[in-house]
Structure 1
Amino acid sequence: MRKYLLPFAVCSLIFWSCDKKQRDPFATEKPDESRFTKIPLAGNFNEPMEIEVLDNGDVLIIERHGKLKLFQAESGNTIVVGELEVFPEREDGLMGMAKDPDFNTNNWLYLYYAPASEAALNRISRFDFVDNKLDLASEVIILDVDIYRGCCHSGGGLEFDAQGNLYLGIGDDSTPFESSNFNPIDERQDQPKNVDAQRSSGNTNDLRGAILRIKPNREGGYSIPEGNLFPLGTPKTRPEIYVKGNRNPFRFSIDSRNGNLYWGEVGPDGSEDKEGRGPKGYDEINVATGPGYYGWPYFVGNNSAYWKYDFATGESLFQFDPNEPKNTSPNNTGMGVLPVAKPALIYYPYAESEQFPMLGQGGRNAMAGQVYYREDYEKSDVRFPGYYNEKLFIYDWMRNWIFTVSLTEDFEYDTMEQFMPETHFEKPMDMQFAKDGSLYVLEYGTFWRANNDDSGLYRIVFSEGNRRPDVKISADRTVGAAPFTVNFSSSGTNDPDTDDQVSFHWEFGENGTTSTDTNPTYTYGAPGIYSVKLTATDLKGETSSSFLEVKVGNEAPTVSIDWQGNRSFYFGKETISYAVTASDKEDGQIDPSQINMTIAYLEGGYDLIETGHQEEILSVGESYINEAGCKACHGISNESVGPDYTSVSEKYKNDPKAKIYLIDKVRNGGAGVWGEQIMPGHTHLDEIKIGQMIDFVLGIANPTGVSGLPASGKYQVENVDDPEGFYLIQASYEDRGANGIPRIKTTGQLKLRNTAVSAYSADHLEGAARANPEDEYFVQFTTSESWLLLKDIDLNQINKITLSILPATTKGKIQVRTGSPDGRLIAETAMLTNDSRLASDPNEGWFDFSLTIPETDYYGDLYFVYLTDEPISIWNTFNLSTLKFGR
């Protein structure tokens, strides 16, 4: 009988495996993004750095300024559970965290931090974490790292591998600001040592610029595991080094199956190659299947080589050889000849990458997450599917994306694709798969070195069968004085599997009050900041939640602009009277001198203006600044890595050459004006967009065209003939704050556009289509009762609208209606055909038809509705090119 047991066992195994695969319908098929749900858990962190997800779903979070916080899954609360005294300047502070592989039994937590009491070292220590509290008295020192602590690239990531080895990533501890964005290898002895990364990243006898691999001892200290880059006892080396030649290996992971090390390397800022110096900057994703040297400061990207450059004479001596890199710096205490340099797995510059164009362009800050193995996690309802098996998750802090990377059997690059491309991630800082196979993501928030309101901890879960509801939460207002009544809305919430049949549970954050209404109204009685939670449950019991914050105690100011001219169009040279008023419940009567009134003429881009929220309306320039990610390094009024925009505006407000100078500065980079910090070049940005960014910055202290307008007066509109240009009229007032609620700024805005409006740029179309054959732009009406919409149209002083039309063979008419497609009729054409065109103009092509508009003070949405009794085909559509508003 025994000989039959093996075939039976094999068949059983095959059957079990097939059955298992069948239970994962997305083993090879890519799931739709709607099967993933991003669940907000906590937020408002002060520079969050790393997370550790515990087996019970709680999450530990470290903040750079020294706090250890705990998100408690059961209650949803986040509490402070420990605080270290750290040196928080530059990039130091509390930088890294890892829980012991046996954390569930020994409660050991490892932290990498800059002790406030030590002048020139960073430290790994082990602490006991018991009863949700970090025991500072239990500290056991594992490793001290000597550093310069004068500038940059502290690194700090901590991770354990499957064998219990602890990895630490350390940057080159070198300033990039004195080397024109190329490699810092300044050997001059009269210069600070941190301008030469050959003393750190290129030095085999130095722990910096490396990823270390050690085995922590129970009593403190560490031992050296076998297999590091330099065997114990090798002269002029440090045996702790696993990989060397790193600039700033900020986030990394170790493959749980094969021990491969993956990391993101934050690269230099150079935007262009330069003969005699070296290549442009690249960020990198690297893989180490064993110990090795990865090039910095002599190579970057695909082993692109820098030159040996003499900073004293300005002479380029020779180009470094990746097959035999040599460190001849007098600041080097290690080996003179380094190991053969290994190229990056993935690398990309500021501009679009030729090799990896899917990664986009712009700011960059590469980081590496984990390789996912489905079988490593519980057979939960939320674990990721087999489609992502053996794929590496990478992410970029600046570009706000996550990609998954597939590798070959030899761990070389194969393919990549963006993960959840329709979902926004705001500066992803760390990510980790939990025991149940869900993915936790830590987001830093918009501004660098700031306590960002939009920082947060999120959990991404997968739904294999029934999908969780997609929850949308909104309110008609979120800031106001007490008592404060808010109308909440769940509009947009949907369930992809049950035709939007969901139930709602609202938690208003005050006195435990809840509601099950779809769109409830709630009145807050006392000042405070309240977290509102909306949970949606589908017919099968699956739930999802979303949050928003309500601030009670300070009413937003109101700002009103009384503009005596038309509020939608400018008509040429004329003088317009205006008056601005503002009121605030808490501040009382407002002095008109406290109102900021500006008028600017902007060339092009009327339809690109972002109106934003009531409290802050954005101009074109600020919209482009947001789009380019510039606020990561520059606040409007708060200094960050670079100067705040208000200070820049004040510095250059009386300089007539400021715009040209600053455009060049943005495009080509530089340093010296605001300190040693170098701003990288941005040659990948369109120069016209950069100009509009500069207009916004300069306009803070000296608005484009006009500076210091009074709250009331007269303004001279010029005769400008630009179909895309517009006047931007803005008036704002910022209150003083009240009852613990911060200051609120409200901006009123008018946009005066050219009277010739392209139908193609309509705000909305229904039953019509935009067409652009042979560089012509117009709208085709494809059904009767189809329409186009123009928002915020002021008909005051308008007595005619001239339509440029091409009826083809269709017989139909255009009606002009207010408020809706079936709203009040104010004008309509006759029934128009090609014969109408011939009667108007014997030449072929477009012809004009004028509509008389009765006197009215209507201001609002304007609909142009097409009516016909004839069938319409693609060959005989009624076409509309422009609408000219006249008086």
Structure 2
Amino acid sequence: MGLWAYSARPLTAPGDKPNVAGPRSAGPDENRFTKVVLAEKLNEPLEMAILPDERVLFIERHGQVQLYSPTTRQVKTIATIPVSTKYKDKEGHETEAEDGLLGVNLDPNFAQNHWVYLYYSPAGPDSKNILTRYELRGDELVLSSKKVLLEVPVQREQCCHTGGSIDWDRNGNLYLSTGDNTSPRATLYAPIDERPGRAPWDAQKSSGNTNDLRGKILRIHPEADGTYTIPEGNLFPKGTPKTRPEIYTMGHRNPYRISVDKHTGYLYWGDVGPDAGEDSVGVGPTAEDEYNQAKKAGNFGWPYFVGNNKAYYDKDFTTGKRGAKFDPAHPVNDSPNNTGLNDLPPAQPAMIWYPAAESKTFPFMGTGGRSAMAGPTYYKDDFKGAKRPFPDYYNGKTFLFEWMRDMILAVSYDAQGNMTNTERFLPSMQFSHPIDMAFGPNGDLYVLEYGTGWFLKNDDSRLVKIEFNAGNRKPSVQVSANQKAGAVPMAVKLSSEGTKDFDGDAMTYQWKIYSRTGGSKAGGQPTTLSEPNPTFTFQKPGQYKAILTVTDAHGLKDSREVDIMAGNQPPTVALEITKGNKSFYFPGEPIAYKVSVSDKEDGTLAASGATPGRILPKQVMVKASYQDEASAQNASEAGHKFSEATYLGAGQVLMEKSDCKACHFTDKKSVGPAFVEVAKRYKSDANAVASLSNKIIKGGGGAWGDAIMTAHPQLGQSDASEIVKYILTLSDKKVASPSLPTQGTYTPDKNEKGNLVLQASYKDKGANGLPAQTSEQVLVLRNPLIPLGTSNSQSKGVTLFKMGTQPYPIVIVMATDTYVQFDKFDLTGVRTMEFAVAVPKAQLIAVGGRIEIHIDSPTGPLLGQTEELLPNESKDPADLFKPSITKVTITPTTGQHDLYFVFKNEKAGKSPLFVPVTVQLSN
């Protein structure tokens, strides 16, 4: 084995591993778990330790050591450690960074010695992070007891990546994670800038350096006198030249949260990956985060490899010339910033790896920003006699979590410790950027939530615990009303539909109707009703709440309420296309529309002028926006219901639903610039929408100093454009988005690629002293360029395949007499359909065929068909899937019909036909 005590796993994993996500066949019901908030509005909480008496010691990045008491239910600051949180470059510019008070854990013998370990960036001129030990006496951290066990030299010129997590194994060995201390700002790929003076941009000085403690997970054995010894089994035997014996694993970027399985000794960690949104030929792969497992010491590849050992290419940053692809079996560090060995241990692949877009290998990871972190492994034997131990189902499972995606995973293993299954844990429970997890003595799972934004005291930062209930559960109540607002008298059907008792107990129902302005009677009627689904008539105007309380046979109760407003009828809004196609828009061609509004109290929409008792056109909001398929569909499904998109704008709503707030705020700087500053900078840039939306999707940096935009390939071009359009309006807060006329024409932009969403809404004036009501109508007109992968249904023999970061799946036609179907298309005015179809013979053995256009059914009226589409004989990989274009003139048709594209080739046998990509409708 030579010098390297690495795990004997495959060195390379060029292909995708099998999907290891399986259904929860025997897991406990999610409703048996309850989230209990212990403390909130914390100031950048990072790591915690649960004391034997259930007190919780946790740290905040700016140096505060906090202690939560379950007795007083209060948080007390027991110490403030002087820390450095800023970086200063050679020009003297200071930036807030990730440094500070980073890690905390208790000594395994804490009950006897009361020792607490802290890892932090000490204030002062010396650029270093230190591992220290203190004594905790009662509620006091004795600062005079400080002992420094270990110093990690760092640079404080450029951010980022600190690591800082602490854990222990059963043998009393302490594990400490450290980040690569390298700026990611110069490149979205491998930071290997070897130019003089550029060491902060070269991770070969740290992660790839066998003689440096950064970019590692260290393993030491603390001694009673404040020193440490080196346990057997680390990566480099003590005395090996150009190495540090403390190193257990190397090749890490930012292993921010680690965990050691106390039973197996296996080490787990999440490594937060780089920012590239796509593969780049001759440069490197799409960025990925990693969940890793180390059964033994080893090298995990950074900065030469990512994920399952996907390799980067060497680069001369002086000339820009690209070199050879790095070899995971024989990585070599020849950087002038390297003080260690040139020949490195073989690289080990990650256990789980995933990009910002959907992972074909690990689809359970979802999409979005990435920050992988590792939590504890649960063993029931560790909680004998505990009040609320987790169920046996989780015995031996490791809890991993995702900071950006607010999700927790439970991972199962076979007898050899190999991953066999991964599942979501409590997918319905909401978290706000979980940053640490630990089990307490009573069996509860404690979770520390950092909150929404970086470097802030977030309102949604919390210390919580998750309790498991193995006994009787209270009922789960659902309430609804057939109408929540209207004129009086108003008869309301109250419903308890969906209410259930998870244990099957008999339930009793009690409704109480209160006036929200006081009193327990509503219109002179009784306030208490005992039917599950009663009807109640509100006689007097007012705001009310109807509360349903359900009690099970054991006396456990649950309540829910619904608000009712009697005395103000919501307005009715109608939006109609008065001329032309009602399913599609055609860029550059006007759409005639009309809005109608009626309100029982306000009257109807006036044509013009101020008519008493009537609604003025200027009081009606009409907007047009372009959204991608999913966003447009959500808007359409809202129907007459009020949508915030009408008043806020589609871009603001899309942004609120994304992860933008993790790095940006409207009017103050976070990790990224304030949106107001972005708007001011690009206010006069005609290309801002195109360039910034492209940066949102693909990622990028350099425009705002160190700030890097993480890639968001899951966003479509139209949605990204709407977000940018909204941001650009913030340069002048007084400028409101104008409303369209209530009747007229709207001409779609020739450059838009999304679906056109028309929205009309009216907010009434209120009545009888009651608040205003808002109603809305939404119409969605599709872009006439239609990906066939967005069809509503597909017959057997048609395969949908998700390819890379494409927003829609592609269609592969595997047999003749198959079809894809679209619901209710208005074909009025449509004259031609232009198909883009690939017939890749070399890759797919495709034989070609034709496409028939039918309405109402696969054998319904034939509107037209393509000519025979012949196989592409090219063997050039760049041309294999290049589609050919064929245009069909169709029989004129009016009205809405289900549309079928039927694929034919009677001679195909068992061969695939082709890959139809899009169809373009023209009038």
Name the counterpart of 1:390.
Answer: 396
Offset, 1:436: 2.1
Contact map agreement 1:182 1:270 (CA 8 A) in 2: yes
Query: Would you say the 8 A contact 2:154–2:181 is kept in 1?
Result: yes
Structure 1 residue 381: Cα displacement = 4.5
1:140-219 to 2 correspondences below 5 Å = 140-149=147-156, 150-179=158-187, 181-189=188-196, 191-219=197-225
Provide, for residues 213-252 of structure 1, a one-character-per-residue CA deviation record: whole Å limited to 9, x for no partner: 1122222232222221111111111111111111110111
SS in 2 for 1:237: coil
Deviation at 1:683, TM superposition (A): 2.6
Contact map agreement 2:270 2:373 (CA 8 A) in 1 = yes
Find out whether 1:358 has 2:364 as its counterpart.
yes
**Which amino acid in structure 2 is aligned with residue 158 of structure 1?**
I
C-alpha deviation, 1:312, in angstroms: 1.1
- CA shift, 1:153, in A, is 0.3
Show the counterpart of 1:792.
none
- How many residues were matched structurally? 657
How far, CA to CA, are the matches of 1:403 and 1:464 in structure 2?
A: 21
Q: Deviations over 1:538-586 (max 9, x none)?
A: 775889999xxxxxxxxxxxxxxx99x979789868998899xxxxxxx
**Residues in 1 aligned to 2:45 and 2:479: alpha-carbon distance in whole angstroms:** 25
Distance of aligned partners of 1:42 and 1:719 in 2 relative to their CA distance in 1, 3 Å threshold = same
Residue 636 of structure 1 corresponds to 666
Q: Which amino acid aligns with 2:29?
A: D
Q: 1:750 deviation in Å?
A: 7.3
Note the alpha carbon deviations across 1:803-841, whole angstroms, 9 max, x for none.
xxx9xxxxxxxxxxxxxxxxxxxxxxxxxxxxxxxxxxx
Distance 2:558 2:167 in 1: 31
Relative to 1, partners in 2 of residues 1:309 and 1:709: Cα closer, same or farther, differing over 3 Å?
closer
User: Does 1:654 pair with 2:677?
Assistant: no
Amino acid paired to 2:285: P
Could you tell me which amino acid in structure 1 is paired with residue 44 of structure 2? E
* Alignment match, 2:38: 41
Which amino acid is 1:293 matched to? Answer: N
Is residue 133 from structure 1 mapped to residue 165 from structure 2 by the alignment? no
Aligned pairs for 1:32-71 (under 5 A) are: 32-71=29-68
> Does structure 1 residue 422 correspond to structure 2 residue 453?
no
For 1:261, give the aligned amino acid: L
Residues 545/335 of structure 1: CA separation in 2 closer, same or farther (3 Å cut): farther
Aligned partners of 2:621 and 2:740 also within 8 Å? no
Residue 697 (structure 2) aligns with? 667
8 Å Cα contact 2:44/2:455 also seen in 1: yes
Tell me which residue corresponds to 1:290: 296
Deviations 1:52-87 (A, max 9, x none): 112222212211111122222123222222211211
Question: TM-score, normalised to structure 2's length?
Answer: 0.64
Asked if 1 retains the 8 angstrom alpha-carbon contact of 2:623 and 2:646, the reply is no
Amino acid paired to 1:82: A
CA distance in 2, matches of 1:573, 1:152: 54
Query: 2:386, 2:443 within 8 Å by CA — same for their partners in 1?
Result: yes
SS of equivalent residue, structure 2 residue 167: strand
- 2:100 pairs with one of 85, 93, 110: 93
The amino acid of 1:719's aligned partner reads T
Q: Paired residue for 2:463, among 443, 457, 468?
A: 457
Match in the other structure for 2:900: none
- After TM superposition, the structure 1 = structure 2 runs for residues 308-707 of structure 1, keeping only pairs within 5 Å, are 308-467=314-473, 496-497=502-503, 498=505, 600-603=623-626, 608=634, 618-701=648-731, 707=735
2:814: which partner in 1? none
Aligned to 2:809: none
Deviations 1:344-364 (A, max 9, x none): 111111111121111111111
Q: Is the 8 A contact 1:568 1:750 kept in 2?
A: no
Change beyond 3 A, Cα 1:439–1:635: same
8 Å Cα contact 2:176-2:218 kept in structure 1: yes
Distance 1:578 1:118 in 2: 72
Counterparts of 1:95-134 in structure 2, within 5 Å, are 95-134=102-141
Q: How far apart in 2 are the matches of 1:577 and 1:53? A: 69
Can you list the C-alpha shifts for 1:121-145, whole angstroms capped at 9, x where unaligned? 1111111212212222221211111
Q: Distance in 1 between matches of 2:120 and 2:402?
A: 24
Q: Point out the more displaced range, 254-263 or 311-320.
A: 311-320
Q: Is the 8 A contact 2:593 2:743 kept in 1?
A: yes
Q: Kindly state the Cα deviation for residue 472 of structure 1 after the two structures are TM-superposed.
A: 10
Q: Which of 60, 74, 78 in structure 2 is aligned with 1:77?
A: 74
**Alpha-carbon separation, structure 2, partners of 1:612 and 1:100:** 56
For structure 2, the 5+ residue unaligned runs are: 1-23, 86-95, 481-495, 512-526, 530-548, 561-569, 579-591, 595-605, 611-619, 749-754, 764-770, 783-792, 796-819, 826-855, 857-892, 898-923
The answer on 1:300 being equivalent to 2:306 is: yes
Amino acid corresponding to residue 666 of structure 1 in structure 2:
I
1:139, 1:471 → 2: CA distance? 53
Amino acid at match of 2:823: E
Deviations for 1:418-475, whole angstroms, at most 9, x for unmatched residues? 111121222111111111222111111122222111111221122223235669999x
Q: Does the aligned pair in 1 maintain the 2:37–2:463 contact within 8 Å?
A: yes
Go from structure 1 to structure 2 and tell me whether the alpha carbon gap of 1:730 and 1:68 turns closer, same or farther (over 3 Å shift). farther
2:822 aligned with 1:775, yes or no? yes
Q: Kindly provide the amino acid, as one letter, of the partner of residue 659 in structure 1.
A: V
Unaligned runs of 5+ in 1: 1-26, 475-489, 505-516, 520-534, 547-561, 580-596, 732-745, 758-769, 779-805, 807-842, 848-887
Q: 1-side partners of 2:333 and 2:346: how far apart? A: 13
- Residue aligned with 1:496, SS: coil
Code of the aligned partner of 1:726: L
| Deviation by residue 1:724-743 (Cα, 9 ceiling, x = unmatched) | 62357899xxxxxxxxxxxx
- Distance, in Å, in 2 between the alignment partners of 1:667 and 1:501 is 53
SS in 2 for 1:461: strand
Determine the C-alpha separation between the residues in 1 that align with 2:308 and 2:758.
47
The one-letter amino acid of 2:134's match is F
| Matched residue type, 2:670 | S
- Find out whether 1:720 has 2:746 as its counterpart: yes
Aligned to 2:864: none
After TM superposition, give the deviation of residue 614 of structure 1 in Å: 10
Letter in 1 for 2:66: K
- Identity level (%): 41
Shift in Å at residue 324 of structure 1?
1.2
